[in-house]
A and B are shown apart, each in its own frame.
Chain A
């Protein structure tokens, strides 16, 4: 069995073959094996509960006791070893209702959900939002992410990159839908915490109140653990609050979502630096039995050029953003130069503008196309007036009398080194020039500040100076110690930190409960099986992803008001209708093959099914060609394609998208449904060579036979 095959699926198929091959001669053995097969099918089809796997164990033990021959023992051994070796995967199928390989068809997860580092059940909550059930959508999200509002504003949305709708036109605007639902639920007072488990009488200390730390604190509190968060700053949020400017993420949003943690009983110790104000020994003596480190990556890389340490007007970007976040509102200078091409550089530049700097230049060593910052952030910065200087290499910071005056730079050109595809900036000799500046803000990356961790002897670090952990469990090399977030990944994304915190909370729970740890990262959990939204094919194809309304440019240059104003309710409900519901349709292509190759109709143009080579998709084409024979629906393994007669019509739909609907014709004699005209034409054309059909009459087979039969049992004379 390959790594890509699901052992549950494999076990079901193999056991089924063994039974049907007659391997079990004794009827009693066969009945027991069939009972095991039924239980396994329940697991593979998402119908299993916590009692299923113990029941399989019991039945296997029973089979072994009953076995009367070697063939039966082989079957019992096969089931026993398969379940034993893959128990984690069997458990995962039952607990998450997802099959990571997609082999168990009804449990195949949607690409967006699999992509999300925190495993949010996106199809379910997007559909709920489409139905106007925002609070329920937030409940679904908070099973996997305690901060839907924050993520609705600043998530890097990997889900949208994998969104299948993007292969047709543009991905679903998942992030903004989430932001809308969270804001609406909070505004209506329906944003609520789930029920906590009873107190377990054990405590966990979380070091760092950033997204990873808060996420772990939330899930541990829900599990019934006492949680205290130790934070070196005076506020909770970490990089969310201190690194992301308010015009992207208002502080109130963070405060409101953090408040939900307080309501769960999470305690905070602010202005407390681990390793300085409090030690591991003190925390242990306070009764904490497990420790979660989410200390982030707050230490800025240095330029390492002359003059960098000589002027107080050289500010590291993270420190600068932190000061502004904590209330500093003075312009750092008239002419600001920010060095770097990432999101932090963009944030620092846009913040300088808002503080009143007359000119803000962003100097980057490469070109626009190499900038790692989000494209939208780059565009918004340019709109606001940030000027970009590309192919610039800082050489020296110069000034006089302790006052910074300029940055001496070299022009660069991009060169490709032999055997490498990456372009490197190469200084152009003699191209020195001065870039005048009152303040220089290097933003060339961050690393973990390891200073506070020095007392933890025995803690393993990676060569990238991040905490070494097992990524499946987030456990570090010291007993009872776990870590996640930027301290583990290096500077990464909010949603990765949240996912890491959630994963760590689960592992801490297992650690404190004496349960075995998982070998692989958990498969995301399907949180519901909600009905799809019904949308006509024309609407599905023509609905466009809405543009985000933005604050006017004058306010963006002068205030810290939120730039993205949010979708309107109508935009949100309509956008949710574009979702393809990939949690139900697996894009296996059986419908397309049957229609094209078996029926010869070729009415399904689903170019998005292929991940690597998507071609044109047009749902509207189905209505032009489809004969509503139902072959596609009959062969659909998941029930995504459906055909039904309703309201005098036959309707074909794919996950709620109405592909075709035609009026049903009925027998003129008895009123029985015959099918749509196009279907009858198709049958007539195929059958006319073998049977003559009166095309002028609409009649069911029974009535047609009655009419054409020379003798009828009803009126023929009885012969004795």
Chain B
């Protein structure tokens, strides 16, 4: 399921992604929460990588299929 993400939204990395941009060190991020800091900034593309700041784990770009919105 694709979701649209906007700046400031709280999200969870709820699963690993099969996307090529997923790197092995990101496995440890599954289950962590964060904030969308830079969404797909131009073309609103479900395939674009979005920038997420994870609590205590820094800022990374993730494929959207591993993210889900939390907290309404």
Contact = CB atoms under 8 A, between A and B. Distances in A.
B51 A493 contact: yes
Contact of A496 (B4, B51, B56, B57): B51
Contacts of B13: none
Contacts of B8: 161
A611 B33 contact: yes
B35 A161 contact: yes
Chain B: number of interface residues, binned into ranges:
35 or more
Contact of B40 (A115, A372, A471, A612): A372
Given A162-B55, A492-B61, A446 B37 contact: no
Interface stretch (A130-138, A204-212, A337-345): A337-345
A698 B6 CA distance: 62
Given A156-B38, A420-B2, A422-B4, A116 B25 contact: no
Interface residues of A, number: 59
A519 interface: yes
Interface string A638-677: 0000000000000000000000000000000000000000
Interface string B28-41: 10000101011111
B3 A116 contact: no
B7 A161 contact: yes
A327 B4 CA distance: 38
Interface in A1-27: 3-4
B38 A158 contact: yes
A131 B35 CA distance: 31
Contacts of B53: 114-115, 158, 161-162
A296 interface: no
Nearest to B40: A372
Interface in A322-350: 340-344
Nearest to A462: B20
Contacts of B42: 340, 342, 344, 372, 443-446, 491
Interface string B57-70: 11111000000001
Main secondary structure of the interface of A (DSSP, over half): loop
A421 interface: yes
A520 interface: yes
Contacts of A557: none
A236 to B, nearest CB: 24
Given A162-B53, A421-B2, A612-B33, A372 B44 contact: yes
B56 A111 contact: yes
Contacts of B49: 464, 489-490
Contacts of A100: 56-58
Contacts of A446: 42
A355 B33 CA distance: 44
A312 interface: no
A464 B64 CA distance: 14
A158 B39 CA distance: 11
Contacts of A373: 41
Given A115-B53, A156-B38, A520 B25 contact: yes
A464 B8 CA distance: 25
A274 to B, nearest CB: 25
A90 B46 CA distance: 39
Interface string B10-33: 100000000011010101100001
Contacts of B41: 342-343, 372-373, 491-492
A175 interface: no
A519 to B, nearest CB: 7
B4 A162 contact: no
Interface string A606-621: 0000011100000000
Contacts of A161: 7-8, 35, 37, 53
A82 interface: no
Contacts of A519: 25
A421 B3 contact: yes
Contacts of A468: 20
A1 to B, nearest CB: 12
A370 B45 CA distance: 12
Interface string A150-179: 000000101001100000000000000000
Contacts of B25: 472, 519-521
Interface of A: 3-4, 100-102, 108-109, 111, 114-117, 119, 156, 158, 161-162, 301, 340-344, 366, 369-370, 372-375, 419-423, 443-446, 462-464, 468, 470-472, 489-493, 496, 519-521, 524, 611-613
List the 5 closest A-B pairs by CB distance, nearest first: A3-B28, A158-B37, A445-B42, A421-B3, A115-B53
15 contacts: A100-B58, A109-B56, A111-B56, A114-B56, A116-B59, A158-B38, A158-B53, A162-B35, A420-B3, A422-B4, A443-B42, A490-B49, A492-B61, A496-B38, A612-B71
Given A162-B35, A612-B10, A613-B71, 7 more contacts: A114-B59, A117-B59, A161-B37, A445-B45, A463-B20, A490-B48, A492-B41
